A = this chain, B = another copy of it.
Amino acid sequence: MAALTLHPDRLLPADPGVRSLARRLYAAVRELPVVSPHGHVDPRLLRDDTPFADPASLFIQPDHYVTRLLHAGGVPLSSLGVGSGPLPEDQARAAWRLLCSHWDLLRGTPVRYWLEDSLSSLFGITSRPSADNSDILYDEIAARLGAPTHRPRELLQRFGISFLATTDDPADDLSAHRALRDDPAIAATIAPTFRPDRYLEVGRPGWPTYVKELGDVETYAGFIATLEERRRYFVTQGAVSADHGHVDAGAVPLDRRDAERIYRSALAGTVTVREAVAFRQHMIFEMARMSCEDGLVMTLHPGIHRNHHPATLAAFGPDTGHDIPVAVEFTRALQPLLERFGTYPGFHLVLFTVDATVYSREIAPLAGFYPSVYAGAPWWFLDNPAEIRSYQRSVTEISGFSRLSGFIDDTRAFCSIPVRHDMSRRLDAGFLAELVSEHRLDEDEALETLTALVASQPRKVFKIG
């Protein structure tokens, strides 16, 4: 049976001289606490500290990175428990077997890298998953999952997480966060994030109804005041940022009267697609204004065509692996917003992309001029070694290291948090080692830069106290 081992030099550059330099750099940041300013872990996981049910609910069901690759390889999503709660043991075991027996589908992907690290580091697995050992591995993992050492809070500490942001609905009362904050047993800060997307898309089915969950939104003025109030509430509950993920990056203010008119149409359910887009782009401008006022860092994640395969959406729900990137544009889209707020003191705008071409063409040039703009870490389809390396080179050479956001894991797979950060540290160490080996940076500077990227930069960019 093939072994599963984690080589201490994994992901470091192949050249022996550069690798030895990278190793030194990496060693200095390897054990630093994890700061995770943006992700999708459910705060109730930590509040309730319920043990993970089984290997499938831990590693497969909630992780569309895993399920989409198996689906592409011919495995039905239903057999993986996608969109379901915890499965009966026989089904959970069968789902786990499907992953193990299709282990070759993951070759070369970061998903494989993350899983291997978790399996080895957290569960002491020493053999490569396969159809043959699937049941043995299942039992080994399940046994540990039942132990106190592998409950969510214990893992939070073991992962060295000092700050963890979740993603929350503006209507949420944030009681889970309050409970966590009030609990002296939790050393880490668990912060909510204001994510108002669905309230800003006024043409979406159901909007006239669900917008009322926010508060008194009978008028445009009330809508704005309510959003301002909800943001302030999030701030009081520890939120540091507001996150926005629409299909484009447009931010264009409307005349007050146009905004009011469209808002009325939206409430009446008669808004057109064009009006809804204009209103949403107006609201992104408004969100920037509010960020200037209340201090929430603004993060923009545009460029995703959501739910590309409607039948899968209908059967399994959203976030099931068929959100597909489209080309995205920032320079013109953000001009009105940056004209107005780009040099506003203390305003922070972090830009993400799944269209790798805009890093060097738009994001880095914007971040290299506007004090408010930061280049978000490689996101989603770009969170793999090849694209991270490309990002390091192209963004840094245009805007320097100080305009990077620091690493952001953006994951809903709790156990992948430490390994994702570790991957980033290894790749940053490798990149800096290359700069030193090309005599473009001295080693003391490389070390200082790497430490900043891991420790201080995310705190500075996300205003984490």
A residues in contact (CB < 8 Å) with B: 2, 6-7, 9-18, 68-69, 71-74, 104-110, 112-113, 128, 305, 308-312, 321-322, 324-327, 329, 331-332, 335, 338-339, 342-343, 354-357, 360-362, 364-371, 373, 381-382, 384-387, 393-394, 396-403, 434-435, 437-442, 444-445, 448-449
Contact residues in B for A9 (Cβ distance below 8 Å): 439
Contact residues in B for A437 (Cβ distance below 8 Å): 14
Q: Which of B15, B311, B401 contacts A108 (CB 8 A)?
A: B401
Contact residues in B for A445 (Cβ distance below 8 Å): 104, 107
Q: Which of B11, B109, B401, B438 contacts A398 (CB 8 A)?
A: B109
Say yes or no: A72 contacts B355, CB within 8 Å: no
Say yes or no: B381 contacts A322, CB within 8 Å: no
Say yes or no: A438 contacts B326, CB within 8 Å: no
Say yes or no: B72 contacts A399, CB within 8 Å: yes
Say yes or no: A108 contacts B400, CB within 8 Å: yes
Say yes or no: B107 contacts A321, CB within 8 Å: no
Provide 25 A-B residue pairs closer than 8 Å at the C-beta atoms, listed in order of the A residue.
Answer: A6-B439, A14-B15, A14-B18, A68-B369, A69-B400, A72-B402, A73-B371, A73-B400, A73-B402, A74-B371, A104-B445, A104-B449, A108-B396, A108-B440, A108-B441, A109-B399, A308-B339, A308-B369, A321-B369, A325-B365, A354-B361, A360-B387, A385-B438, A385-B440, A387-B394
Q: A108-B396, A381-B360, A435-B108 are in contact. Are A324 and B355 (CB under 8 A)?
A: no
Which of A311, A398, A439, A441: most chain B Cβ within 10 A? A398
Q: Which of B11, B14, B360, B448 contacts A17 (CB 8 A)?
A: B14
Contact residues in B for A362 (Cβ distance below 8 Å): 324-326
Say yes or no: A393 contacts B386, CB within 8 Å: yes
Q: Chain B residue with minimal CB distance to A364?
A: B381
Contact residues in B for A367 (Cβ distance below 8 Å): 72
Say yes or no: B326 contacts A331, CB within 8 Å: yes
Contact residues in B for A110 (Cβ distance below 8 Å): 397
Known pairs A10-B439, A104-B449, A384-B397 / 16 extra A-B pairs, C-beta < 8 Å: A6-B439, A7-B439, A12-B438, A14-B434, A72-B403, A73-B400, A108-B401, A109-B399, A109-B400, A110-B397, A305-B331, A311-B339, A324-B365, A325-B331, A327-B361, A386-B394
Q: Which of B2, B305, B335 contacts A444 (CB 8 A)?
A: B2
Cα distance A112–B16 when bound, in Å?
A: 27
How far does the Cβ of A217 sit from chain B's closest Cβ, in whole Å? 32
How far does the Cβ of A451 sit from chain B's closest Cβ, in whole Å? 12
Q: A107-B400, A113-B440, A338-B309 are in contact. Are A365 and B381 (CB under 8 A)?
A: yes
Cα distance A109–B360 when bound, in Å?
A: 13
Contact residues in B for A401 (Cβ distance below 8 Å): 107-108
Q: Which of B69, B128, B327 contacts A329 (CB 8 A)?
A: B327
Q: Chain B residue with minimal CB distance to A360?
A: B356
Say yes or no: B381 contacts A305, CB within 8 Å: no
Q: A72-B369, A110-B397, A321-B369 are in contact. Are A339 and B309 (CB under 8 A)?
A: yes
Q: Chain B residue with minimal CB distance to A310?
A: B339
Contact residues in B for A370 (Cβ distance below 8 Å): 72, 309, 322
Contact residues in B for A434 (Cβ distance below 8 Å): 14
